[in-house]
Amino acid sequence: MPLKLVEILVLGQVLRLNVPVEQEELLRQAARNLDILVSEMKEKTGLIQLDRVLSIVALNLSFELSQEKNKAAKIEEVLRTGIQQLDHSLENIRVNKEQY
C-alpha cells in the first residue's frame, strides 16, 4: 500500500501524517467529525478547556466503540449458531440419504 504525506487540520492544528492513499479521504472525514464533536461538546458542557473537552469526547467515542464491538460479537454468535444448525441439518440429511 503506497503511503502519501497528508496535511490535515484538526482542532485548529495542522497534522502531517503518512497514510495509505486510499484512506486519505476517510482520514479527512474523521478529522472533520472530530472537530464537530469537540465543538458540540464545548457547547453542551460550557467547558473551554480543550483537554477536558477532549477527554469527554474520547470517553464517549470509547463507549460507542465498546457498544459496537458488543453488537458485532452478538451478531457473530447468532451467525455461528445458525451455521452450526445448518451444518447439523445437512449432516442429518446426508446420513438419512445414505440409509436409503
The predicted-structure confidence for 31-85, as pLDDT tens digits, reads as follows 999 999 999 999 999 998 999 999 999 999 999 999 999 999 999 999 999 999 9
Cell, residue 78: 447468532
The confidence band for 17, taking pLDDT boundaries of 50, 70 and 90, is very high
Rounded to whole angstroms, the Cα distance separating 56 from 73 reads 26
Q: What is the pLDDT of residue 96?
A: 87
Q: What is the pLDDT of residue 97?
A: 84
End-to-end CA distance of the chain: 55
Q: E strands of the chain, at which residues?
A: 3-10, 13-20
The confidence band for 12, taking pLDDT boundaries of 50, 70 and 90, is confident
